[in-house]
Amino acid sequence: MNWKHACRWAVASSVVATVASSVFALPATAAPLPGPQPTVAPEMLAAMQRDLGLTADQALARLERDRRGATLEQALAPKLGDTFAGAWLAPGADRLTVATTDPARTGQIRSAGAEARVVGHSYRQLDQTRRRLDGLGYAAPKSVPGWHVDVVTNTVTVLTHPNARDAARTFVKSAGVDTAAVRFVDSDLSPRPLYDVRGGDQYGINNSSLCSVGFSVNGGFVTAGHCGRVGSSTVGSNGVAQGTFQVSSFPGNDYAFVATNSQWTPKGVVNRYDGTTVGVAGSQEAAIGAAVCRSGRTTGWKCGTILGKNESVTYPEGTITGMTRTNACAEPGDSGGSWLAGQQAQGVTSGGSGNCSQGGTIWFYPLGVILARTGKTLITEGGGGEPPVGCEGIAAWSATTGYVPGDVVGHASHKWESTFYSTGAEPGDPRSWAVWKDAGAC
């Protein structure tokens, strides 16, 4: 395949309650949560003002709200345990909403500084339903573009093409799930993969296709799995031999690791395509409703809002699970590129629908999962590795990330290895004995 036919554009359709970007201000009485204030590059503020319609002060206020929300979600989710039902930043709200199945827990949630909502299904229950559907992903009809846990509506949302709900219901019924927790949403989107992409800087694969660098890690960079198979060679945007795909997982997942040669030095920055870069400070996962910006070789630097997490999306090649949905636009050639919330790395472009003229829906594959499964360490600005959030640079455990056997995380000063599929099962909790194996202190 020659360069002009580089990439097909992977798109998936998700019509969950769309979270519109809203103008708001944090109340003067809001008590700040512990942790550093967000360090924001001027370029990031300019892009948020341009794409989200915010003033500079509103953009700063939103980033602070987003930081507070992420910190609070990570603190409350393990404390609520099996009663935790998700968290999100509602449009225009100044604080995080946290859902629980136990009315007795609402006081605990409010005391922590969040809005409380009582719902019928826990996140664990909804995620079990999603995983049952994932198990039948190979049999999903073409009229079902994807499915995901929607914490705002407390359902598993199944997308279906108009006039094709019977096929969607048959698919759900065949999975043997609790249909009371399932919501069907009409969608006319049709997913297709992005093969002509990049996260920050452009790179070429086997002299036939283009993709984008996601983030620098020790020994190379991470990107989208659909960009190349293990053994595929890469060249940089300057045509110089760059490296080789050593890890690639697609479909099912959509991530890859490219080992670079001695001519290339990984740097902890993202290209903005205007002659400047944004430094990467870490990889704290942002909450639903947070602002996010992405970089890609075709459309450059664009911003939007995180609308959903841990979503399953069906491409012609198969179903991809664990994805994060946004309304930031992208086009063919942007696949594999970088996603940032402030200066916190979030993931790599997988696929989507629409374009940057009319808007669209784009998914990225979460960086935390990529680091856990590849064992790589994110390179931050200044050339060093990310300060250990877990242990020894290992990705920290997150209550909202889906883990599979073999994943490694850091939590409570210990290294843990996953022995089963899980979401929300805290390492070290007596109830999680069958899910995590303690690999020792670190």
The predicted-structure confidence for 186-217, as pLDDT tens digits, reads as follows 998 777 664 333 458 999 999 889 999 999 99
Closest CA to 330 of 344, 317, 349, 316: 349
Closest CA to 291 of 34, 1, 87, 58: 58
pLDDT at 199: 54
Q: Which residue has the higher pLDDT, 221 or 42?
A: 221
Check residue 358 and report its DSSP letter: T
Residues in the chain: 442
| Range in 169-173, 198-202, 354-358, 422-426 with the lowest mean pLDDT | 198-202
Q: Which residue has the higher pLDDT, 14 or 137?
A: 137
pLDDT at 237: 86
Q: Note whether residue 326 is domain-resident.
A: no
* H-run or E-run covering 194: none
Question: Average of pLDDT values for 368-385?
Answer: 83
User: Is residue 199 a contact partner of residue 168, using CB atoms and an 8 Å limit?
Assistant: no
> In the block, which residue shows the tokens 């093409």?
161
- Confidence band for 26, pLDDT divided at 50, 70 and 90: very low
Amino acid at 391: C
The catalytically annotated residue of 94, 134, 150, 254 is 254
SS3 content of the chain, % helix, strand, coil (to 5): 20, 35, 45
pLDDT over 90 percentage in the chain:
58
CA distance linking residue 202 with residue 212, whole number of Å: 5
pLDDT at 385: 57
Contacts (Cβ under 8 Å, ≥6 apart) of 29: none
Contacts (Cβ under 8 Å, ≥6 apart) of 256: 222, 223, 224, 225, 227, 228, 245, 247, 248, 249, 250, 336
Q: Note whether residue 422 is domain-resident.
A: yes
Tell whether the model's pLDDT for residue 148 goes beyond 90. Answer: yes
3-state DSSP call for residue 68? helix
181-209 burial, b if ≥16 CB within 10 A, otherwise e? bbebbebebbbbbbbbbbbbbbbbbeeeb
pLDDT at 122: 95
Question: Average of pLDDT values for 311-336?
Answer: 94
Question: Average of pLDDT values for 405-423?
Answer: 82
Structurally, the chain folds into a number of domains equal to: 1
- Confidence band for 382, pLDDT divided at 50, 70 and 90: low
pLDDT at 416: 85
User: Active site includes 335?
Assistant: yes
Contacts (Cβ under 8 Å, ≥6 apart) of 166: none
The catalytically annotated residue of 335, 338, 353, 418 is 335
Largest CA distance in the chain: 62
Q: Note whether residue 431 is domain-resident.
A: yes
- Confidence band for 19, pLDDT divided at 50, 70 and 90: very low
Check residue 268 and report its DSSP letter: S
**What does the CA dihedral 363, 274, 64, 338 come to, rounded to 10 degrees?**
30
Q: Note whether residue 425 is domain-resident.
A: yes
Q: Note whether residue 416 is domain-resident.
A: yes
CA distance linking residue 180 with residue 433, whole number of Å: 30
Q: Note whether residue 427 is domain-resident.
A: yes
Question: Average of pLDDT values for 392-418?
Answer: 78
* H-run or E-run covering 113: none
pTM: 0.68
Closest CA to 52 of 30, 28, 19: 19
Tell whether the model's pLDDT for residue 222 goes beyond 60. Answer: yes
Cis check: omega of the bond before 162, within 30 degrees of 0: no
Rg (alpha carbons) of the chain, rounded to whole number? 20
The catalytically annotated residue of 121, 148, 226, 414 is 226
The predicted-structure confidence for 44-64, as pLDDT tens digits, reads as follows 888 999 999 999 999 999 999
pLDDT at 441: 74
The predicted-structure confidence for 155-168, as pLDDT tens digits, reads as follows 999 999 998 899 99
Exposed, middle or buried by CB within 10 Å (0-12, 13-18, 19+), for 275? exposed
Q: Note whether residue 158 is domain-resident.
A: no
Q: Note whether residue 392 is domain-resident.
A: no
Tell whether the model's pLDDT for residue 413 goes beyond 80. Answer: no
Q: Which structural domain, as residue segments, surrounds residue 414?
A: 403-442
Tell whether the model's pLDDT for residue 121 goes beyond 50. Answer: yes
Contacts (Cβ under 8 Å, ≥6 apart) of 175: 132, 133, 135, 136
Mean pLDDT for the chain?
A: 84
pLDDT at 43: 83
Phi, psi of 373 (to 5 degrees): -85, -20
pLDDT at 430: 73
| Range in 66-80, 201-215, 268-282 with the lowest mean pLDDT | 268-282
User: Active site includes 414?
Assistant: no
- Confidence band for 22, pLDDT divided at 50, 70 and 90: very low
Tell whether the model's pLDDT for residue 336 goes beyond 70. Answer: yes
pLDDT at 18: 31
